[in-house]
Amino acid sequence: MRIFFRAILKFLREADIFLLLLCLVSTIYGIILISSIVGNSASGAGTLYIQIGALVIGVVLYVIFSYIDIDIIADKSGLLLIASALFISTLYFWGVGMEEVGNRAWLRFSGIGIQPAEIVKIPFIIIIAKMITNYRERKSLNTFVSILQILLVFTLLFGLIVVVSADLGSALVYFFVLIIMLSIGGVKLCWFALGGAVVAAAFPLFWLNFFTSRQRDRILAPFLPDLIDPDRLDILWQADQSVRAMASGGFLGQGLGNGQLTQSGFIPAQHTDFVFSAAGEELGFVGCMIIVTLLITIIVRCIYVGVMSNNSLGMLVCTGVAAMLIAQTFENIGMCLGLLPVIGITLPFFSYGGSSIVTCFAAMGIVSGIKMRPKPIRFRSM
C-alpha cells in the first residue's frame, strides 16, 4: 500500500497534470455535446456509456504510459512494426465498416468497435522517431538508404490502411505526421522536393486506378462541386447541413439541446465526425472557440514538453503526437465548415469514438512520461 501511495505522489509531482486536466476538460465537453446530439434514447445512452468508459480507460492508460520510459518501447520498434502491420491486416478478415463511406475500418466485438488504424498511430510515431534518432546519431539521416528505409516503413502501414480498410482519412494523417517528423528531424529540403516530384508524377495513376469514383467525388466536392456526378449530390448534404447549423448558431448559439438541425438529426454521424457543428449551432462562436483554444493549448503543450525534454527521441515523439492532433483538428473542422473533403476524421477528444479517445489519452500519457524523465542532450541538429 505504501508503494502505491508513493507512486501516486510521484505521479502528482512529476507527471503532466496540466495536460491531463486539458484532456479531461476537452473530453467532458465532448461528452456534453454528444449527449445533446444523441438525446435520451436507449441507443443514445449506450453511446454515452461507451464514451465514458473510453474516458476511464484513457485516464488509466495516461497514468500507465506516464510511468513507461519511451526509450524501452522504442528499442522494440521492430516488434512494434510487425505487430502494427498484423493488427491492421486483421481488417482483411474481420473488418466491418459503413457502406456509405465504403471502408472496412473497424473490428467489432460484442457491439464494441476497435479501429486499428487509430491505435497504430502511436507505434507509428514511436517507430519513425526511433529511426530518425538512430540515423541522426550515425550522421546518416540524409543518405538514400536511410530515407528509403523510413519510406518503406511508412509505405507498409499506409498501404495496408488504404488497401485493407480503404480508410483514406486515417492514412492521410499518417502522411502528415511523417512529413512533420522528417522536417523537424533534420531531413534536407532536397529530399522533400524529390518526394514531391515523385508524388506529383504518380498522382494521376493513383487517382484513376486506386480511388473509386465515389471517393474522387468526395475529395472534389468542396473544391469543384460542378464536377460531381449528378447522381451523387448527396455527398454534399452532410457538409451543407453542417454549415447551415453553424451559421444559425451565431455568437452564443441556440442553447444546448435546442439546435434545430442538431436535434432533428439532419446531419448524419454528427456525434462522430461533425460534433463541431453541434457546438456551433447550440453554443455558437464562443462554444467553437473554446474547443479550438483547448486543442491548440494541448498541441502547444505537447510541443513544449518535447522541446524541454533535451532528447531527440522525446522531442520527435512529442512532435509526432502534436502533428497527429494538428492534422485531425484541421481536417475535421475544415470539413465541418465545408472547406475540406468529408473523409471521416474525428475531432480529437471531442468526437464519439472509443478508439480515438483511448489513443489520444495514451499518446498524451507518453508525452507526460517524457516530461517525467528529461534526459541529457545526446546530439544536436545536423
The residue ranking higher by pLDDT, 101 or 214, is: 214
pLDDT at residue 99, as a whole number: 43
pLDDT for 11 beyond 90: no
Work out the pLDDT band at 380, boundaries 50, 70, 90. Answer: very low
Report pLDDT digits (tens) over 162-189: 888 777 888 889 999 999 999 999 999 9
Closest CA to 268 of 120, 69, 101, 138: 101
pLDDT at residue 96, as a whole number: 58
pLDDT for 97 beyond 60: no
Q: Where are the domains of the chain?
A: 2-372
pLDDT for 131 beyond 70: yes
pLDDT for 229 beyond 80: no
pLDDT at residue 376, as a whole number: 54
Work out the pLDDT band at 239, boundaries 50, 70, 90. Answer: confident
pLDDT at residue 117, as a whole number: 87
CB of 336 within 8 A of CB of 246?
A: yes
Report pLDDT digits (tens) over 290-330: 999 999 999 999 999 999 988 899 999 999 999 999 999 99
Strand 112-114 versus strand 107-109 pairing type: antiparallel
Using DSSP, state whether 349 is helix, strand or coil: coil
pTM (2 d.p.): 0.90
Closest CA to 323 of 149, 134, 182: 182
Cβ-based neighbours of 292, under 8 Å, separated by 6 or more: 329, 333
Report pLDDT digits (tens) over 56-69: 999 999 999 998 88
Lowest-confidence range among 23-37, 84-98, 309-323? 84-98
Task: Give the mean model confidence (pLDDT) for residues 206-216.
Answer: 74
Task: Give the mean model confidence (pLDDT) for residues 336-340.
Answer: 88
pLDDT for 258 beyond 90: no
pLDDT for 382 beyond 90: no
pLDDT at residue 28, as a whole number: 96
Average pLDDT over the chain reads 86
pLDDT at residue 102, as a whole number: 54
pLDDT at residue 381, as a whole number: 41
pLDDT for 226 beyond 90: no
Lowest-confidence range among 84-93, 226-235, 289-298? 226-235
Task: Give the mean model confidence (pLDDT) for residues 153-168.
Answer: 86
pLDDT at residue 111, as a whole number: 62
Task: Give the mean model confidence (pLDDT) for residues 204-209.
Answer: 78
Helices (H), the chain: 2-14, 17-38, 42-67, 70-74, 77-94, 116-119, 121-137, 144-160, 168-185, 189-209, 213-220, 237-249, 260-264, 275-308, 312-336, 354-372
Indicate the residue type of 106. W
Q: Of all helices (H) and strands (E), which one includes residue 105? A: none
pLDDT at residue 359, as a whole number: 93
